Amino acid sequence: EDQVTQSPEALRLQEGESSSLNCSYTVSGLRGLFWYRQDPGKGPEFLFTLYSAGEEKEKERLKATLTKKESFLHITAPKPEDSATYLCAVQDAGNNRKLIWGLGTSLAVNP
């Protein structure tokens, strides 16, 4: 069964303390993997799309990487404004190309 699992469920960091969020997936064929950021009371905001193993993308303090089984979202020297829930979604090449969403990682960065 297609599945997307994110870990940890919640993460609390001190400002400047780098860390990584994980998104592991099980799909018959990966068409693409998306990372989104969601602030309380708002819709998800698109961050990255990754298409194939080995691919990396960066945006400010965020860097997303992809392997055949998982993706990491690395946060370097985070700031309090990086506090949000980070959602991962995978599009299956089969299964009518559905987007399968993880439950998200809630990140809190303390000043």
Partner 1 sequence: EAGVAQSPRYKIIEKRQSVAFWCNPISGHATLYWYQQILGQGPKLLIQFQNNGVVDDSQLPKDRFSAERLKGVDSTLKIQPAKLEDSAVYLCASSSRGTILTEAFFGQGTRLTVV
Contact residues: partner 1, CB under 8 A: 4, 31-32, 34, 41-46, 49, 51, 87, 89, 91, 96-99, 101-104
How far apart (Å, rounded) are the C-alpha atoms in residues 41 and 39? 6
- For partner 1, the closer of residues 43 and 111 by Cβ is 43
Q: How far is the CB of 95 from partner 1 (least distance, A)?
A: 10
Q: How far is the CB of 2 from partner 1 (least distance, A)?
A: 13
CA–CA distance from 67 to each of 77, 104, 110 (Å)?
23, 19, 30
- For partner 1, the closer of residues 41 and 111 by Cβ is 41
| Under 8 Å between Cβ of 34 and 25 | no
Number of Cβ atoms within 10 Å of the Cβ of 66? 24
- For partner 1, the closer of residues 28 and 96 by Cβ is 96
Q: How far is the CB of 15 from partner 1 (least distance, A)?
A: 25
